[in-house]
Amino acid sequence: MSREDLETTGQLLGTVLAVQANFYRVQLDSEDKGDKLENSSFSTPSPLSTVSSHSPNPHPPLLLCTRRTRLKKIGQQVMVGDRVVVEEPDWAGGRGAISEVLPRGSELDRPAIANVDRILLVFAVADPPLEPYQLSRFLLKAESTGLDVVLGLNKSDLISTEEQSEICDRLMSWGYKPIFISVNKSINLNQIATSLKEKITVIAGPSGVGKSSLINALIPNANLRVGEISGKLARGRHTTRHVELFELPGGGLLADTPGFNQPDLDVSPEELASLFPEARQRLAVESCRFSDCLHREEPECVVRGDWERYQHYLDFLEEAILRQTQLNQQADPESTVKAKTKGKGQTKYEPKLESKKYRRASRRTQLQELQQLYQETDE
Ligand code: GDP
Ligand code: ZN
């Protein structure tokens, strides 16, 4: 059944914000959501701004729900981010029951969230300094999920406007348009809030760049719902695997996440180029001579060139080749072949004898790769 069908049949629809034990916290869709989105803005985050005087329901109702036995029987799991049909609401007691889960648009593995639409990648322009290689790695990881990427560069108060435009030019040549923000000086937070409207976003980035500060700024303490759990948002020493979606006052939901390490890239050598906008752009216009070109020394390669991140590409390619060689060996432990050679052209895997550690043996689906962004740091 489509969402429209359900709405016209008068069923209650909502979004699962959190899962705890056998209970699901479901935020029902509010009827005045449209007005709310249009009227609110980051500069007026007063709790009163979301309360329309004519509305009997100042805040979209939250219900603590169980899962219908029928869903359990058919093994239908309910995830954070799921769109669900709620039955038998007990308004006074704030309870209900989930009778149906609508088909998921996407599914992340870790954190386990359904229907994520985009990744908000946060880096700092200084303190810690912007490290191009690290940024590249996070960007590639984000690209590998196929989700939209919004790049916010925080602590812009620490550099001059000239420096900002240099960084901007540079990242534009990478294929990204960064939003310069300062949480401390409240610069461009409105723009970030606007870009997060209506959809589900997960936030990613290395530690120390201001992710917690940004979340706290985007979700004002004045918000009653968030006020209750502001301790969790502040996070502090104790990271937790508990996933929860937080409501942004201007619309949209944001997943708070634990700290991040350097994400592992889990893509095949053949896939890698497609994660670079610069390479995609070149390949959209022309083709390499060999269809399985790895864009290294091959003749008539259209990707190889003097674009800034080409060296990043080569470095990540080595990493991807090494990983694939190891996977091949694991898949065929009897094999004494150390490197796989491909038949056509000059493409050949040349594993380097670097002692890098790869935690996982198996390939994962594209979306699951994002989980690597969420490795918890030992604080
Ligand atoms: P997280 O590890 O990414 O969650 O980063 P935090 O939110 O804990 O912030 C790390 C440090 O950066 C804190 O000392 C913040 O006060 C500081 N910080 C956050 N935003 C800004 C900003 O816009 N400008 C400056 N100068 N410092 C900031
Ligand atoms: Zn090529």
d(CA 293, CA 344) in angstroms, rounded, equals 9
CA of 240 to the centre of ligand 1 (A): 20
CA of 288 to the centre of ligand 2 (A): 5
Domain with CATH 2.40.50.140 in the chain: 3-103
Ligand nearest to the CA of 282: 2
Residue nearest to atom 10 of ligand 1 (CA): 208
Q: What is the dihedral of CA 85, 90, 91, 92, to 10 degrees?
A: -160
Ligand 1 atom at minimal distance to the Cα of residue 126: 26
Residue nearest to atom 6 of ligand 1 (CA): 210
Amino acid at 51: V
Q: Is the pTM of this model over 0.85?
A: no
Domain with CATH 3.40.50.300 in the chain: 113-256
Identify the CATH number of the domain defined by range 265-328.
1.10.40.50
Is residue 367 within 8 A of residue 108, CB to CB? The reply is: yes
Q: Does the structural domain 3-103 have CATH classification 3.60.20.10?
A: no
Residue nearest to atom 22 of ligand 1 (CA): 155
Residue nearest to atom 26 of ligand 1 (CA): 155
d(CA 175, CA 19) in angstroms, rounded, equals 37
Domain with CATH 1.10.40.50 in the chain: 265-328
Ligand 1 atom at minimal distance to the Cα of residue 215: 7
Crossing angle between the packed helical segments 132-145 and 310-331, to the nearest 10 degrees? 60
CA of 325 to the centre of ligand 1 (A): 40
CA of 261 to the centre of ligand 1 (A): 17
d(CA 186, CA 5) in angstroms, rounded, equals 42
> Could you tell me the CA-to-CA distances from 266 to 134, 280, 321, 324 in Å, in that order?
15, 19, 11, 9
Backbone angles phi, psi at 151, to 5 degrees: -105, 115
Residue nearest to atom 17 of ligand 1 (CA): 210
Q: Which two tokens stand for residue 301?
A: 């390669």
Q: Which two tokens stand for residue 273?
A: 């180029």
Ligand nearest to the CA of 314: 2
Is residue 73 within 8 A of residue 1, CB to CB? The reply is: no
Pocket of ligand 1 (CB under 6 A): 154-155, 157-158, 182-184, 207-213
Q: List the pLDDT tens digit at each of the 379 positions of the chain.
A: 454 554 456 789 999 999 988 899 999 997 644 343 333 344 433 343 333 334 444 566 899 999 999 999 999 999 999 999 999 999 999 999 999 999 999 888 767 899 999 999 999 999 999 999 999 999 998 898 888 999 999 999 999 999 999 999 999 999 999 999 999 999 999 999 999 998 899 998 988 899 888 988 998 752 333 323 334 444 433 334 567 888 888 889 998 765 455 677 789 999 999 999 999 999 999 999 999 999 999 999 999 999 999 999 999 999 999 999 988 888 876 655 444 444 444 444 443 333 333 333 333 444 444 444 444 333 3
Domain 113-256 fold is Rossmann fold (3.40.50)
Amino acid at 213: S
